[in-house]
């Protein structure tokens, strides 16, 4: 079994931060390379979950729209999760679904139904929690240190 | 560092000052992707040392702004209670250094990262008092008629709509994908506008932790005025208070003083009474404006126009934080 891509990225980041960056005397170039190291580290930590997170997000938006919109069920057929779909295709589906969610939430904002507003925000928060990398800011600061 | 640039600078500066200089150092400072910033030390024939800061426009930057705007803003506060660097020269042409630039004397002090908790300890109280009172001074400053005239071309009222339209346009031009949280935040702002300000103030445009120099317990300079404009004084206050600048200690905006203490100092210095609803609007606006900046950075990075890692960092970390702030605000307003 070969090492995974995220392991390769993780090791590359450590090499950049610990071996190459200290060799550079120019402060600007040193900071710039150090930043690359930290950003590659974040990429490594998020890499494994990228595909499954996208599928989960698409699934959650579809279920929410089925419950809270008048969109025909047939409309959702094209977003089916299939084994031969690439991550780019899931990303395209995701953009279409986000657009549908945005339109539906706009209607909810106009109508001002507090329960639906809360449910929409809850969905968007779960989407954001899954995607965000800002919780890794502490790790970035450690690298800077 | 570009050898061509340092040579061009030396030739330009010698010509400008009408005497010969030798270059001691020419170093680029990391960060601040809106301008390339260089710290320069030169010596003249009599061995007098001069420490300078050169701000050079980038072909591609987070937000494209004119050097003239920044120069006018610095000019407005020379020899005032708002510490700013002494200006030496500016040029909006490419002929001298390959890009428009502004040259100023270096101020003493250091700048901190806005994302590092407790970075100002043990001087956070002293620095906090100065930070919020200087912002009050900016808000109450009567703008010189000549400077006002130079800015007036860009003043349209209501200020809130002028600013919101400007940043929403950038969002919709530069977005890589659809972000329902951000769109919901934008709609909320348009539907619940603030009252139009009775005061026209100089707005710094990026007044926050990290954009000032300090030496121990003293603020020595307010920097980065490239987004300065005339507008509602609450705009700067909303931006400076944003939880993004104290994400790991949200009760102490800018990692300095408690929020209520900060607001009290600002009100006392500016002589402006804060309307809480209006301030809430400007705080949400700050998150939307921030998103415009981070989206623009992400676009630069993705298109390959500017692959400085600061652009990727901006799109990832501050972009995530401001989205969360928008979500929190929307939820509070249900």
Q: Tell me, yes or no, whether A32 and A61 share the same domain.
A: no
Residue A131 has pLDDT above 80, yes or no: yes
Report if residue A144 sits inside a domain: no
Look at B27 and A28 and tell me if their CB atoms are within 8 Å: yes
Cα(B65)–Cα(A39) distance, integer angstroms: 28
pLDDT at B198: 84
The domain at B3-105 falls in which architecture? Answer: 2-Layer Sandwich (3.30)
- Closest Cβ–Cβ partner in A36, A39, A124 for B180: A124
Are the beta carbons of A137 and B317 separated by less than 8 Å? yes
Q: In 3-state terms, what secondary structure has residue A6?
A: helix
Interface pTM, i.e. ipTM: 0.91
| A57 and A78 housed in the same domain | yes
CA angle B91, B94, B100 (to 5 degrees): 40
Same domain, A55 and A86: yes
Same domain for A100 and A78? yes
Estimate the share of chain B in helix, then strand, then coil, as percent rounded to the nearest 5.
Answer: 45, 15, 35
Pair (A125, A66) in one structural domain: yes
Strand partners, B103: B54, B89
Closest to B285 measured CA to CA, from B329, B318, B317, B221: B329
A67 vs A136, residue with greater confidence: A67
Is A37 a member of any domain? yes
B119 vs A contacts (CB less than 8 Å): none
More confident of the two residues B303 and B33:
B303
What does pLDDT average to over chain B? 91
pLDDT confidence bin for B2, thresholds 50/70/90: low
What's the rounded mean pLDDT across residues A65-75? 91
**Structure token pair of residue A53:** 């997170």
Chain A neighbors of B309, CB-CB under 8 A: 32, 35-36, 39
Is A145 among the domain residues? no
Closest-CA distance, A10 to chain B, in angstroms, reads 17
The domain defined by B124-332 carries CATH number 3.90.1200.10: yes
Does residue B331 belong to the interface with chain A, where contact is any CB pair within 8 Å?
A: yes
Q: Name the pTM for this structure.
A: 0.92
Query: Which residues face B104 on adjacent strands?
Result: B53, B87
pLDDT at B226 over 90: no
Say yes or no for a CB contact (<8 Å) between B115 and A141: yes
A36 domain residue, yes or no: yes
Whether residue A88 is found in the same domain as residue A26 = no
Residue closest to B98 by CA, chosen among B148, B46, B59: B59
pLDDT average, residue stretch B251-268 = 97
Q: Do B184 and A109 touch (CB under 8 A)?
A: yes
Nearest residue of chain B to residue A103 (CA atoms): B180
Q: Where do the structural domains in chain B lie, given as residue ranges?
A: 3-105, 124-332
Nearest to A139 by CA among A8, A13, A19, A21: A13
Q: CB B69: neighbour CB atoms within 10 A? A: 18
Which domain covers residue A104, as residue numbers? 50-131
Interchain contact, B334 vs A114, CB within 8 Å: yes
Our CA-based measurement puts residue B11 at a distance from the nearest CA of chain A, in whole angstroms, of 23
Residue B195: the pLDDT is 95
Among candidate residues A95, A87, A9, A81, the one with its CA nearest the CA of residue A44: A9
* Nearest-CB residue to A99 (from B178, B310, B321): B178
In a domain, A136, yes or no: no
The minimal CB distance from A105 to the residues B184, B317, B320 is found for B184
User: Is A28–B116 a contact, with Cβ atoms under 8 angstroms apart?
Assistant: no
User: Do A34 and A58 have their domain in common?
Assistant: no
Give how many domains chain A has, as a whole number.
Answer: 2
Same structural domain for residues A123 and A66?
yes
Residue A139 is assigned to a structural domain of this protein: no
Residue A50 burial by Cβ neighbours in a 10 Å radius (0-12, 13-18, 19+):
middle
Any chain A CB within 8 A of the CB of B324? yes
Asked whether residue B1 carries a pLDDT value surpassing 90, the answer given is: no
């Amino acid at each position: 079994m070969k090492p995974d891509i995220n392991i390769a990225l993780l090791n590359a980041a450590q090499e950049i931060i610990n071996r190459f960056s200290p060799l550079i005397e120019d402060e600007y170039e040193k900071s710039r390379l150090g930043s690359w190291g930290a950003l590659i580290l974040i990429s490594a930590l998020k890499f494994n979950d990228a595909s499954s997170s996208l599928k989960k997000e698409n699934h959650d938006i579809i279920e929410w729209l089925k419950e809270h919109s008048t969109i025909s069920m047939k409309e959702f057929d094209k977003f089916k999760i299939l084994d031969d779909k690439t991550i780019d295709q899931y990303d395209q589906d995701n953009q279409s679904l986000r657009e549908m969610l945005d339109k539906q939430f706009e209607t909810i904002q106009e109508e001002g139904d507090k329960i639906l507003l809360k449910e929409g925000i809850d969905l968007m928060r779960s989407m954001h929690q899954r995607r965000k990398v800002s919780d890794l800011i502490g790790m970035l600061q450690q690298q800077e240190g | 560092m570009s050898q061509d640039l340092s040579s061009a600078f030396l030739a330009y500066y010698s010509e400008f000052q009408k005497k010969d200089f030798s270059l001691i150092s020419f170093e680029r400072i990391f960060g601040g992707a809106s301008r390339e910033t260089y710290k320069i030390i030169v010596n003249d024939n009599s061995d007098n040392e001069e420490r300078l800061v050169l701000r050079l426009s980038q072909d591609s930057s987070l937000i494209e702004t004119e050097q003239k705007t920044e120069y006018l803003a610095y000019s407005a506060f020379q020899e005032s209670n708002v510490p700013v660097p002494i200006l030496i020269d500016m040029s909006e042409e490419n002929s001298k250094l390959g890009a428009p630039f502004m040259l100023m004397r270096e101020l003493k002090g250091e700048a901190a990262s806005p994302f590092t908790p407790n970075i100002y300890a043990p001087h956070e109280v002293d620095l906090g008092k100065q930070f919020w009172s200087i912002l009050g001074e900016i808000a109450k400053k009567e703008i010189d008629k000549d400077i006002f005239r130079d800015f007036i071309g860009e003043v349209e009222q209501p200020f809130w709509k002028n600013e919101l339209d400007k940043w929403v346009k950038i969002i919709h031009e530069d977005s890589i994908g659809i972000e329902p949280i951000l769109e919901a935040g934008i709609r909320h702002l348009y539907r619940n506008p603030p009252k139009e300000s009775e005061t026209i103030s100089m707005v710094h445009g990026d007044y926050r932790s990290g954009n000032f120099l300090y030496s121990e317990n003293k603020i020595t300079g307010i920097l980065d005025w490239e987004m300065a404009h005339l507008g509602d004084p609450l705009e700067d206050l909303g931006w400076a208070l944003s939880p993004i600048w104290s994400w790991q200690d949200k009760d102490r905006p800018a990692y300095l003083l408690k929020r209520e203490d900060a607001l009290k100092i600002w009100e006392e210095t500016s002589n402006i009474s804060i309307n809480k609803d209006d301030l809430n609007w400007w705080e949400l606006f700050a998150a939307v404006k921030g998103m415009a900046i981070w989206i623009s950075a992400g676009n630069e990075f993705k298109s390959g126009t500017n692959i400085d890692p600061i652009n990727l960092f901006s799109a990832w970390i501050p972009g995530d934080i401001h989205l969360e702030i928008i979500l929190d605000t929307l939820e509070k307003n249900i």
